[in-house]
Amino acid sequence: MKKKVLLIAALFTAGLSFAQDGLTSKKGVPILPEAGDWSIGFDASNLLKFGGNMLNGNTSNTLSSFGSQNAGMISGKKIIDANKAYRVMGNLGFGTSTNSPATDTTVTTSGFDLGVGLGIENRRGKGRLQGVYGPMASISFGTGSTETEGGDSSAATTRTVTPGAKISLGVSYFAGVEYFFAPKMSLGAEVSYGFNLNIVGESEDEFKTSATTTSTKADGSTSINLGQTPNAMISLNFYF
């Protein structure tokens, strides 16, 4: 989180020194998006981490593939005019992992996350550096389970822990910058702050042996959370 905030500050400072550049390329192509343009954007945090690991010699360096729970957000915009755009953001994450923490024991963890957000983006700026800010509303859904298998053939056991499915409704306000480093291509950085209504369903802890099955259930819950720290995001955007 701290690294993202520092990178956002660095991007803002760097953008100020280039804000007086021309608004067309050497071939006369407009630098900034125009009314009617659409965009698609990707969470660039994972890509920047990958590049940083390459520079510091990290040997376990991989990019998250689309669909993995670490892949990050995908966003889209519809430019209305120089000062306004509509935006949509979404995330689809799913994954399964299996490991053996002890002899004759296998742990399988799986999860699924889906989130969608809609917002209005206000834009300000006369050069390559544009300020963006506005409200967002979001809804997300998540579920998962952990299954532990262990024991020999005569006393095999399986424990499955299924937390309650979680639905979250959120309202937030974002603010940030977008720097156009090439015609209709930008690197954006922003922070957002808001609150969520979280609804968690009933959870279950099931234990099986070759002879019996027992199950323990726990009631769900409802809570309202006001973010104690801002959420930060870095994005790579393409307009067309």
Average pLDDT, the chain: 83
Alpha helices in the chain (DSSP H): 2-16, 45-56
pLDDT of residue 14: 44
DSSP category for residue 48: H
Assign 165 a pLDDT band (cuts: 50, 70, 90): very high
Structure tokens at 103: 């002899």
* CA trace torsion 205, 210, 213, 216 (10° rounding): -20
Residues 125-154: pLDDT tens digits? 888 999 999 999 999 999 999 999 986 555
- Angle among Cα 226, 229, 232 to the nearest 5 degrees reads 115
Asked whether the predicted pLDDT for residue 211 surpasses 50, the reply is: yes
Classify each residue of 121-147 as buried b or exposed e, where b means 16 or more C-beta atoms within 10 Å of its C-beta. bebebebbbbebbbebebebebbbbeb
Assign 21 a pLDDT band (cuts: 50, 70, 90): very low
Residues 34-81: pLDDT tens digits? 999 999 999 887 655 544 444 454 444 443 333 344 456 899 999 999
Beta-sheet pairing, 213-218 with 157-162:
unpaired
pLDDT of residue 56: 54
Beta-sheet pairing, 213-218 with 221-226:
unpaired
